[in-house]
């Protein structure tokens, strides 16, 4: 079994990175692994110190992008997505700044697709 391990040590506990670039690059690595030994990156395991703040933030970004790609436009409802995650694990996305990071990362990713003319479908293999 091949494993892709990504450690993002610059994401502060109970905080957010300065911008969305690194989080979005990690998402691209997960969705499009460059190593031929890793043809499929599922399942994905995400964890931080407590498994709720940073974990919930990343899972929200990942889940929402996956739903957009599949054509599920109601998937853009971040509040509903986070509420669903919180039913599964209390405390997912702990801070308003983390909620904002989810929003900004999604907007940034979609803007990148619009500006370079690539369809959103490129997010899917």
* Tens digit of pLDDT at every position of the chain (125 positions): 677 778 888 898 888 999 999 999 888 877 766 655 555 656 778 888 888 899 999 999 999 988 887 888 777 889 999 999 999 999 899 899 999 999 999 999 888 877 776 655 545 44
CATH class of the 21-123 domain in this structure: alpha beta
Task: Look at residue 106 in the predicted model and tell me its pLDDT.
Answer: 92
Q: What SS3 state is found at 98?
A: helix
Task: Look at residue 119 in the predicted model and tell me its pLDDT.
Answer: 56
* Short-list 66, 84, 76, 80, CA closest to 103: 76
DSSP letter string over 15-39? S--SSSHHHHHHHHHHHS---TT-S
Task: Look at residue 125 in the predicted model and tell me its pLDDT.
Answer: 43
What amino acid positions are annotated as catalytic residues? 48
Task: Look at residue 40 in the predicted model and tell me its pLDDT.
Answer: 60
Task: Look at residue 86 in the predicted model and tell me its pLDDT.
Answer: 93
Give the Cα separation of 63 and 78 in Å (integer). 10
Q: Which two tokens stand for residue 125?
A: 């293999």
């Amino acid at each position: 079994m091949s494993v892709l391990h990504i450690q993002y040590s610059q994401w502060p506990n109970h905080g957010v990175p300065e911008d969305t670039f690194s989080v979005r690059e990690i998402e691209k690595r997960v969705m499009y692994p460059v190593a031929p030994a890793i043809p499929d990156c599922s399942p994905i395991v995400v964890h931080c110190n407590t498994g709720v703040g940073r974990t919930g933030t990343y899972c929200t970004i990942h889940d929402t992008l996956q739903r957009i790609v599949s054509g599920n436009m109601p998937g853009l409802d971040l509040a509903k997505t986070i509420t669903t995650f919180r039913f599964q694990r209390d405390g997912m996305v702990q801070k308003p700044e983390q909620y904002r990071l989810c929003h900004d990362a999604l907007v940034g990713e979609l803007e990148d697709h619009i500006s370079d003319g690539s369809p959103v479908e490129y997010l899917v293999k």
